[in-house]
Amino acid sequence: MKKLLPVMALTLSAQSAFAMSEHPMRVGQVIVDQLEVRDTDEGRVLAWEVDGWYGSDINKLYFSSNGERLMAPEHDDEDPATESADTRLAWSRALSPFWDGQLGVRRDWQPDDPNRDWASIGIKGLAPYQFDVDAHLFIGDDSLTNLQLSAEYELMLTQKLVLVPALEANFYGKEDAELGVGKGLTDIEAGLRLRYEIRREIAPYIGVNWEKQYGDTADFTRASGGKTEEGMLVAGIRFWF
């Protein structure tokens, strides 16, 4: 009987593992990574960055939304409006313990232009030295392509204070005058935010954000009377559930 116990235990463990693979536990999470007010030359802007997913460790349904809305225009004759926004829906599959591959679609919501739809493929995960990295290729109409790269790092100053530098860059495969972008590197956005974690689930923060356009994209912006470079103070809150 004693000899049979290890064999029985091994058999039960194998059966449990098989049952878990057949019926994996499904959970979800929503992370509002940025919900902030930016002090820009055009007025106060509300910006957001939201990610969410539902599924198992291997397969997930992934959702993200990013955008900016003008809250308090500098001039009284301007109305508050959404300046830009995009949403992305993707199937996310684990490629390794720290990396997911994602395949999906993105829609850009433009206030004055027709909405644009893109197919997307990319990876998301944790690089060496704990860098949170996203790399996505978007393919739109008329063979327009957009490569978006972003990286973020969380530096724990204390158990409550976290300093977060972040960087994002966009590249386009060809010029699109209607969209107002040129070929190659179009823009870079960098930020530095210091947050205080009241709890792990909720943390107000302050920081700075800097944006700059390059090449023909900057020329399109100058021609329309816009600015190609701007730095701003930000204040917001991060929370998840």
Which residue in 234, 241, 191, 169 sits closest to 35, CA to CA? Answer: 234
pLDDT band for position 63 (cuts 50, 70, 90): very high
Percent of the chain at pLDDT > 90 equals 73
Is the confidence at residue 229, as pLDDT, over 90?
yes
Percent of the chain at pLDDT > 70 equals 86
| Residue burial 14-35, b: 16+ Cβ < 10 Å; e: rest | eeeeeeeeeeeeeeeeebbbbe
- Decide which of 233 and 40 is more confident: 233
- Decide which of 83 and 207 is more confident: 207
- Return the pLDDT at 11: 42
- Return the pLDDT at 79: 60
Is the confidence at residue 12, as pLDDT, over 90?
no
Is the confidence at residue 236, as pLDDT, over 90?
yes
CA–CA separation, 82 and 70 (whole Å): 6
pLDDT band for position 5 (cuts 50, 70, 90): very low
Is the confidence at residue 19, as pLDDT, over 60?
no
| CA 124 distance to own-chain centroid | 10
Q: What is the DSSP string of 145-213?
A: EEEEEEEEE-EESSSSEEEEEEEEEEEESS-BTTTTB-SEEEEEEEEEEEEE-SBTTEEEEEEEEEEEE
- Decide which of 117 and 76 is more confident: 117
- State the average pLDDT for the chain: 88
Q: CA torsion angle for 56, 59, 63, 64 (degrees, to 10)?
A: 100
- The string of pLDDT tens digits covering residues 139-194 is 999 899 999 999 999 999 999 999 999 999 999 999 998 888 999 999 999 999 99
pLDDT band for position 48 (cuts 50, 70, 90): very high
- Return the pLDDT at 76: 59
Burial status of residue 193 (CB atoms within 10 A of its CB: 0-12, 13-18, 19 or more): buried
